[in-house]
Amino acid sequence: MKAVKSQRPVNLDLRTIKLPVTAYTSILHRISGVVLFLGIVVLLSWLDKSLSSEEGFEQVKGYLASPLVKLVAWGLVSALLYHLVAGVRHLIMDMGIGETLEGGTKGSKIVIGVSVALILLSGVWIW
């Protein structure tokens, strides 16, 4: 048998591989979905505590004054906003708009731009 020359990449160091912007938006969309899934536990516990009694409501209100809790809330809102914007992009692509390589790249850049703007606005609203 002859040895076959493989054209496979030898270096699989993820820090040196350049991914397209569409890959980053896809990866971030998945990460934001996981963050939302896990964050629901935190949000539901806050909701349960606040609805249990007047004292519970005051405790949650006190929690939300903490900078660390505000940061967690901003992180969850950021994940929600990014996931929403990227999800709308997927719905638009399901209608056949932006399915080309150029359209996908433009759509990814729009998703990142709109998401950054909304995340910054939500940060101003939360803080």
Cα–Cα distances in angstroms (integers) from residue 68 to residues 47, 73, 121, in the given order: 18, 9, 19
User: Are the CB atoms for 85 and 118 separated by under 8 Å?
Assistant: yes
Cα 79 from Cα 91, distance rounded (Å):
18
Cα–Cα distances in angstroms (integers) from residue 107 to residues 24, 26, 37, 50, 74, in the given order: 12, 11, 25, 40, 25
Q: Where are the domains of the chain?
A: 21-126
- The reported pLDDT for the residue numbered 17 is 78
- The reported pLDDT for the residue numbered 124 is 96
- The reported pLDDT for the residue numbered 127 is 85
What is the maximum alpha-carbon separation in the chain?
79
The architecture in CATH of the region 21-126 reads Up-down Bundle (1.20)
pTM of the model as a whole:
0.83
Band the pLDDT of 40: cuts 50, 70, 90: very high
Average pLDDT score over residue span 11-36: 89
Confirm or deny that 90 is annotated as ligand binding. Answer: no
